[in-house]
Structure 1
Amino acid sequence: MTEAGNVVLAGRSRRLLMSLARPYRSLAVLALALIVIDNAAMVSAPLFIAHGLDTGIARGAEGDWAPLAWTVTGYLTTVGIGVLTTYFFLRVSGRLSQSVLFDLRVRLFAHTQRLSVSFHEKYTSGKVVTRLTGDIETLQELLKGALDQALSAILSVITIAAILIYLDQLLAAIVLVGFVPLALVTRWAQRRQRAGYRRTRVAIARVVVQFVESMGGIRAVQTFRREQRNESVLAVEDGEFASSTIVAMRGMGDYAGLTRLLGNLTTVIVIVVGAWQVIEGNLAVGVLAAYLLYLNEFYGPLDELAQVFNSYQSAAAALEKISGVLEERPSVPEPPDPTPLAQAAGAVRMDHVWFGYGTLPGAEPDRDGGGRVRAVLPEFSLDIPAGQVIALVGATGAGKSTLAKLLTRFYDPSGGTVTLDGVDLRALSDADLRRHVVMVTQEAYLFAGSVADNIRLGRPDATDEQVYAAARAVGLHDFVAALPDGFDTDVRKRGGRLSAGQRQLVAFARVFLADPAVIVLDEATSSLDIPGERQVQQALETVLRERTAVIIAHRLSTVAIADRVLVLEQGRIVEDGAPAQLIAGAGRFAGLHAAWRESLV
C-alpha cells in the first residue's frame, strides 16, 4: 500500500476513535486529570530523596532531624497519592473503555444489518464475525491496559525531561541527543509493524471465514468427505496468520531491544560524565543520585511505550478494518424524502429496466458486447395489474432471480424504473416497501425461538389470536398445537426441529400475518417432496388470494395456480399468456410442460 493510502487509513481510524470517545469527554478529562496527579506525585519522589541525601542527612548529623522527617513524610505522601490515583484511574478508564467498545459493537452491528444484500454477497459472514469479535477484542486490549501505560508514560517522559534540564543542562543535553536515534528507530518500527499487523488482520479473517463456512456447511462437509481438505486449507490460512504474527512480534522485539540499548548507552555516558562533575565539585552527589533515579524513570516509560506501541499497531490495523466496514454505504439507500404509501393495491410496473451486476444506476448497458459488463436484463418492461398472479419460468440464468431482487429492491436497476402503484420503489421508505412487498425464498429461514415468534416476525405487534389465525389459514395450526409446548415450542437453530415443508408453512403464516400487497416467491417449493409440496400448495393458494404475486418455479405444478406465465430467455420475455393457452400451443412452455408430465409417469 502507498504512503498516501496509509495516511488515509490512519486518518479514518483516528476519526472513528474520536467519534466514539466524544460522548464520554467528561470521563476522558477525569482520567487525564488523575494521570496528571499521579505523574506529579511520581516525579516528586526523587526530589525528596535528593533533599534527604544532600540536606537531611547532614542536618541530622548536627541533631536537626526536621529536614529528614519532612523528607520521609513527603515521600510517603507521594506514594499514597500514587496509590489512590491509580485505583480511581483504573475504575474510570475501565468504564470509559467499555463504554466506547459497547458503542462500537452496537454501531458496527446496526450498520452491517442496514447494508444492502450486494455487500453481504461479497463480504462473507466470517469477515463480519471477525470485525465484531477479533478486531474489537484487539482494540479492547489496547484500551483496557495500554491506555493507562501510554498516557502515564508520555506525561512522565515530558515532565522528567523538564526536571532533567533543570537539574543539569550538560547531562540533559546527553539525554536529549540520545533521542535522535530513538526517534529514527521508532519511525522505522512504526512502518514495519503496521504493515505486519495489517497482514495479521487479513490472515485471521481468512481463518474465521474458513471455520464459519465449514461449520455452516457441515452436512456437505461430512457427506462429501471434505474434512481433510478443509483441515488442509485451515492449516494454510492459520499458518499464514501465525507467520504474520511472528513477523510482527519480531519487529516488536527489535524495537524493544534497540530502545533498551540506546537507553543503557545513554545511562552509562551520564554516569561517567556525572561522576567527573562530582569529582570536579560541579555537581552534588544527591543531585547525581536523583538524576540517575529520574533517568531510570525516564527510560522505564520508554520501555512501556514500546509495549504499548506494539498493542497500538495491532489495534490500529484492526480499527482500519472496522472503519472500512462503517464507511460502506448501502447500494440501495433509503430516500431522504420518501413518498408515503399507507395502502397499496399491488400494481407493479417495470419500465425499460436494464440491470447488470457490478454496474451503477444511470450507467449505460453494454449493447454491442464490447464492454466488460453485460446486462442480465436488457430493456425489460412488464405490467402486473393489482391482484394478478404471474409465474416466471425459464432456464437457469434467464434472469428470474434478478427480477425478484429488483421487485423487492434488494438491488436497484441500472436503468429504468420499477414502480408500485405508480410510485418508484426508490422513492419509498424501507418501512413502506417491506410492509407492502414481501419475498419468500427456497430456504425458509427460521430463527432460534418459538414458533409464535417466528410467525410474528411478519408483524411484531400481532396478538396471540392473530398468530393462531395465520397458522390456521395455512394449515399449520393443528401440527403446532400438537408440539410439546405448542406455539411456544423452540424451533432451534435455523428451524432444525421442523421439516422443510413445515418451515415453509411457518414462512407462509408469517407472510399471511404481514398481509402485504405483493408477494415474490423465489423457488419456494423446489426443495419439497410431493406430499410436502401439495400441503404447501394449498397454503400458497390461501396466501396469494387477492394479492399480486410473482412466482419463480422450476416445478410446473406450482405454475398451475398462476393467472399468467412468462417464459424468459436471456433476460427477455419470449412467451406470455395464461397457462392453459401456452400449454395448448407449440411454444417453449408447451415443451417444458410436456417434458414435466413425462417425468411424472
Structure 2
Amino acid sequence: MAVSAPVSIPVSPSSLPAKGAPQSLSGLGPFLSPYRLQIGLAALFLVLAAVTTLVFPMALRSLIDGGLVSTDKGAQTMALRNHFLELFAVAVALGLFSAARFYTVSWLGERVTADLRNAVYARVLRQSPAFFESTQTGEVLSRLTADTTLVQTVVGSSLSMGLRNAVMGVGALAMLVWTNPYVMVQVLGILVLVVLPSMWFGRRVRKLSRASQDRVADSSAIAAEVLNAIPVVQSYTAEGREATRFDASTNAAFRTAVRRTKARSVLVAFIIIATSAALLWGLYQGTQAVLHGDITAGHLGQTVVYVIILASAAAVLGEVYGDLLRAAGATERLMELLHAQSAIVSPSHPVAAPVPPAGSAIAFEAITFHYPSRPDTPALRDFTLRVAPGETVALVGSSGAGKSTVFQLLLRYYDPQSGRLLLDGVPLASLALEALRHRVGLVPQDAVIFSSSAFENIRYGRPEATADEVHAAARAAYAHDFLSALPEGYDTFLGERGVRLSGGQRQRIAIARAILKNPPLLLLDEATSALDAESERMVQAALETAMQGRTTVVIAHRLATVQKADRIIVMDHGGIVEQGTHATLVAQGGVYARLAALQFAA
C-alpha cells in the first residue's frame, strides 16, 4: 500500500476526554481518518471472514441431515462428497478473507503508529525549555516507544480481533435466537447481566493500566539520566547505587503491573465463566429439544457450533477489552504530549524585518524575568541594556548573576514578565521563531555533538552549505587539521555525543558550526573554556575574525578572554552594577577590578 504523508493534527485541549475515560481512544481518530480506504477494506474483509465463519455451522447441519441420514449408500457417498467440498470451499474463503484482513489491519496499525510517533515527537521538539523543567526526557522516550507499541497492538491486532469476534458473536446469537427463540432470549438476558458488572470492573483495570505505564516511564527516565552521565557515575563508583535505584523503580513497576494483571485476570475469568454458564444453559435446552423430537440432530450440531462461536467470541472480547483499557491509558499519555501547548509560539502575523548587513542591534528595556520553576526569585530585575550593531559586549559576574538568562531571552526560549526586548528595533515576540533563531548563532559552553559525521555536525548550522563552505568554516575554527587527520577525514563518525573527540576538538566543531551559519548576532558562552592554551589562542583568533561585521555577546568567566571587548557588562543578582572597557573598569576599583585582581594574580 502507498504510504501517505504524515498527518497534521490540530491541537485543541478542550477536545481531550476526562482522564481515565474510555473515550481516550477517540484521540486516535485524526490519525485514522486519512486512511479511510484501508479501513474500509479491512472492515470488508473482516465482515466477509466473520460471515464465512457463520456459514460453517449451516454447512455442517446440511452435512449431518443430508449426508448421513440417507439409506441409499451411493447417494449418501455423493452427498457426503459434495458436502465436504462445500466445507472446503468455506475453509478456503475463510483463509483468504482472514489473510487479507490481517494484512490490511497490520499495515494500518504500523502506519498509524508511525504517524502518531512522528506527531508526538514533532510536538515535543517545539516545546519551550519550560516544558522540560517539569518533564523528564526518559518519560518522553517511554511514551514514544512503550505507549505507541500498545496503540499499535490495539489498532493492528486487538481492535480487528474484537470487531471480528463481535460480528461473529452477534451473528451467532442472532442465528441461535432465530432457531431457538425462547431459550436464547433467556440466554441474552443473562448476558446483559454479565456485561454490566464487567464494564464497572473494567474501570479499575484502566486506572491500574495507566499507573503501570507511568511506573515504566519512571524507570526509563532513570535509565536515560544515568546512561547520559555514565563517566560521572563510574568515577564516583556509583554503579551499585544506580543499579539499586533502577531495581527499586522496576520493582515498583512490576508490583503495579501485577495488580493490573490480577484485576484483568478476574475480569476475564468472570466474563468467560458467566458467559459459558449462560450458553451451556442454552445448549442443555437444545439437547432436551432433540430428545423430545422438536429439532433434528443436524439442527443440534448447528446449535452447538454457534454456541462455541459465541462463547469463543465472548472470551476473545474479554481479552480485547483488557487490551483496549491498556491502550486507553497509553493514548491518554500520548495525547497529553500531543496537546501540550508551548509557552513560546510564533505570532500569527509575524513582522518580516530585513537582516542587517553589519550586525544586529539589541535593546533590553526594563526587563524583569522569573523562571517558571522559581517564580519567587527574579533572574533579571529591571535589566536595561543596549548593544549597537557590530559591537562586542562581554557579560561577566558570579554564577547566578543572570548572564545565561540574557542568552535564553535573546533566543526567546522564554518571554520576560515585564519590559521589552527588541532585535533591530522589532520586539522579539513580533518575529517568527524560525526567523529570529536564524539570526542568532550560539556556541554553548558544553559543545553538542550529534551521532553523525564531522561534516554533518558542522553543516548542522546550514544544511544547504557546500563542502567548500564547510571546510572553510572548519579552517576558521582551527578544526581542519585534526578533522583531516581522522581515519575517514570529515566523514568520520564521531560517536554518541562526540565521545571520540577531546573537549577542545568538540568545542572547535561547535564554533565552526556557528561560523558556517553566519548570523548577524553571535552568542558565545565561554566558547574557549574547554581548550588548552595553544588551542585557545588559535580559536580566539578565529573568533575575532568571525566577530567582524556582526554583533557578539560573550559570557566570560575567564576575564583574559574579554579584555578586547568593546564593552564589559558586570552583572550581579540580575542587574548591571558596572559597565565599560577593561581598562576603565580596572581603574574604577569596583567589582570587576576585584575579579580581575583575583584571576590575574592567580
CA contact (8 A) 2:202 2:267 kept: no
1:394 aligned partner: 397
CA contact (8 A) 1:185 1:258 kept: no
Structure 1 residues 150-549: aligned runs within 5 Å: 150-344=162-356, 345-358=359-372, 373-549=376-552
Deviation at 1:232, TM superposition (A): 1.2
Q: What SS class does the counterpart of residue 353 from structure 2 fall into?
A: coil
CA distance in 2, matches of 1:122, 1:531: 41
Residues 483 and 71 (structure 1), Cα distance of their counterparts in 2 relative to 1, 3 Å cut? closer
1:570 aligned partner: 573
CA distance in 1, matches of 2:316, 2:176: 20
Deviation at 1:522, TM superposition (A): 2.0
2:9 aligned partner: none
TM-score normalized by the length of structure 1:
0.92
Of 156, 171, 181, the residue aligned with 1:144 is: 156
Deviation at 1:67, TM superposition (A): 6.2
Q: What SS class does the counterpart of residue 522 from structure 2 fall into?
A: strand
Deviation at 1:272, TM superposition (A): 3.3
Deviation at 1:353, TM superposition (A): 1.7
**CA-atom RMSD in angstroms:** 2.3
2:385 maps to amino acid: L
Deviation at 1:450, TM superposition (A): 2.3
CA distance in 2, matches of 1:230, 1:278: 70
Deviations 1:481-506 (CA, angstroms, capped at 9, x unpaired): 33333322322222222221122111
1:164 maps to amino acid: L
Deviations 1:336-362 (CA, angstroms, capped at 9, x unpaired): 222113422400011222211128xxx
Residues 14 and 257 (structure 1), Cα distance of their counterparts in 2 relative to 1, 3 Å cut? closer
Deviation at 1:407, TM superposition (A): 0.9
1:396 maps to amino acid: S
CA distance in 2, matches of 1:192, 1:353: 50
CA distance in 1, matches of 2:87, 2:395: 86
Residues 15 and 417 (structure 1), Cα distance of their counterparts in 2 relative to 1, 3 Å cut? farther
User: Is 1:128 aligned with 2:140?
Assistant: yes
Q: What SS class does the counterpart of residue 578 from structure 2 fall into?
A: strand
1:414 maps to amino acid: Q
1:47 aligned partner: 58
Structure 1 residues 74-93: aligned runs within 5 Å: 74-93=86-105
CA distance in 2, matches of 1:328, 1:258: 39
Deviation at 1:14, TM superposition (A): 2.7
Q: Which runs of 5+ in 2 are unaligned?
A: 1-14
Of 78, 94, 100, the residue aligned with 2:106 is: 94
User: Is 1:581 aligned with 2:584?
Assistant: yes
Of 29, 42, 45, the residue aligned with 1:31 is: 42
CA contact (8 A) 2:479 2:509 kept: yes
1:131 maps to amino acid: R
CA contact (8 A) 2:283 2:303 kept: no
Q: Which moved more, 1:149-158 or 1:443-452?
A: 443-452
Q: What SS class does the counterpart of residue 373 from structure 1 fall into?
A: coil
CA contact (8 A) 1:342 1:432 kept: no
1:362 aligned partner: none
Deviation at 1:64, TM superposition (A): 5.3
CA contact (8 A) 2:367 2:384 kept: yes
CA distance in 1, matches of 2:85, 2:473: 80
Q: Which moved more, 1:30-39 or 1:427-436?
A: 427-436
Q: Which moved more, 1:94-103 or 1:488-497?
A: 488-497
2:4 aligned partner: none
Q: What SS class does the counterpart of residue 178 from structure 1 fall into?
A: helix
Deviation at 1:281, TM superposition (A): 3.9
Residues 63 and 454 (structure 1), Cα distance of their counterparts in 2 relative to 1, 3 Å cut? closer
Deviations 1:10-52 (CA, angstroms, capped at 9, x unpaired): 4774343111111111011111111111111111111222233
CA distance in 2, matches of 1:176, 1:562: 86
1:262 maps to amino acid: A
CA contact (8 A) 1:39 1:155 kept: yes
Deviation at 1:279, TM superposition (A): 3.7
CA contact (8 A) 1:511 1:543 kept: no
CA distance in 2, matches of 1:30, 1:372: 55
Q: Which moved more, 1:139-148 or 1:247-256?
A: 139-148
Deviation at 1:68, TM superposition (A): 5.4
Q: Which moved more, 1:136-145 or 1:418-427?
A: 136-145
Q: Which moved more, 1:464-473 or 1:198-207?
A: 464-473
CA contact (8 A) 2:19 2:332 kept: no
Deviation at 1:56, TM superposition (A): 4.3
1:373 maps to amino acid: D
Residues 415 and 171 (structure 1), Cα distance of their counterparts in 2 relative to 1, 3 Å cut? same
TM-score normalized by the length of structure 2:
0.92
Q: Which moved more, 1:526-535 or 1:508-517?
A: 526-535
2:371 maps to amino acid: Y
1:45 maps to amino acid: F
CA distance in 1, matches of 2:30, 2:598: 62
Q: What SS class does the counterpart of residue 376 from structure 1 fall into?
A: strand
CA distance in 2, matches of 1:269, 1:488: 74
Q: Which moved more, 1:509-518 or 1:259-268?
A: 259-268
Residues 383 and 171 (structure 1), Cα distance of their counterparts in 2 relative to 1, 3 Å cut? same
CA contact (8 A) 2:389 2:550 kept: yes
Q: What SS class does the counterpart of residue 290 from structure 2 fall into?
A: helix
Q: What SS class does the counterpart of residue 562 from structure 1 fall into?
A: coil
CA distance in 2, matches of 1:505, 1:54: 88
Deviation at 1:55, TM superposition (A): 4.6
Q: What SS class does the counterpart of residue 7 from structure 1 fall into?
A: coil
Q: Which moved more, 1:19-28 or 1:391-400?
A: 391-400
Q: Which moved more, 1:405-414 or 1:12-21?
A: 12-21
Q: What SS class does the counterpart of residue 266 from structure 2 fall into?
A: helix
CA distance in 1, matches of 2:229, 2:595: 33
Deviation at 1:166, TM superposition (A): 0.4
1:355 maps to amino acid: F
